[in-house]
Structure 1
């Protein structure tokens, strides 16, 4: 069953075409990363999926239901989004208040709220920080709180809009590790991550690459990143593992069948 389906979607700002007749499907429980240079249409696509921009050309389906003006609020409840700036998303005076914010807006009973807050704070490893103020948290911790607040609303699709782009390497690792923990514990949760980080993309189920408003590639990370020169020419980075393998292949050392750097090392040591 498709969790998300985009069919012949186009979008323009005035006469500037941002998305040009794109179509793709995401299955329930898949982890998809979306890559593309600045201005390729990545964030515009996320806003259209969330219903934050009016869609005039093409169709968006959530759980096989086409998004229309009449049902946009209902379908939006199936979606949760985390943006790139952790400071702009922290609303509450404490971690607990921040996770509670969305629950209060959905009129969750107070006797149920503490249980839900504790459950999702624990999922993102922030249960011991519930009384902490945002000023005492790192960027990665703030993003984990933002993800907890979104997950507490029990969305079917989690959209990460460059959620690691403003974090230091440690913060990025925290979020990527959390995403993979969610995949283990919430197998039906679909994750759609817009990212510039090739290391994150390399760990996803599929990579969708946008170029000048069109889909350039939509395939497994191994197949997408095999287009090494094309991606570099588009201004995209390549996973470190793929860089090493590509350099070796150019030296006529065939490591194309090696699945990871450990296997590359073993091959070279034979």
Structure 2
């Protein structure tokens, strides 16, 4: 099912004030715990706001609820483990049939003017070097759910873009329950030892290129995201002088989606 222009993943909004408040709370908890013989486990963080978010991994990452395509209830929470880089979607009461209800995700980089701690992004494409990611996921508790699991990389001519990106969007789909990306299916390429169908289209005038793994998987280790960027650049979708502003990883639930989980996630630039 082609989503056409119904999607709106670019509406991820990280509220810096909210994230800052959570970081202060976590820092206070760590200080108090440090003076105790046995530190209590931190309180799990949860948001049900459409565009709510919270930090993970000490602020290196941000988890975003991002319910941009529906008004049905969706919440995300961390596992409560200190230094965790995972989240779970629960509940997710979506009934969409023509497009994703949202994009619950984790990201590193700069989104709508907010940058995660110590971010290596934005980074010029022609100076990118290696960008690798490991990501472990698990499926929803409801087998009738429809969704896809995908990276979302954003590009912009401006390194300090305060709003929606204006360059291009690149997605890497690890698996799908049958839903399809924006645009038209083109050639199949081999990247990182796997085959990927290349889809190209536009979103509100923004070029979108998606790489859909022909054999789905729930996890990857040291996936060379820079190889997808290089392929998209060779196809003219991404320009060498543009900046990679953020690397996001999450799910696009259409119907259901409760129980979708990122078990662990990391993304590094030149190993850092």
Q: TM-score, normalised by structure 2?
A: 0.29
Higher helix share: 1
Relative contact order, CA 8 A, sep 6+: which one is greater? 2
More strand by share: 2
- Taking structure 1 as the reference length, the TM-score comes to 0.30
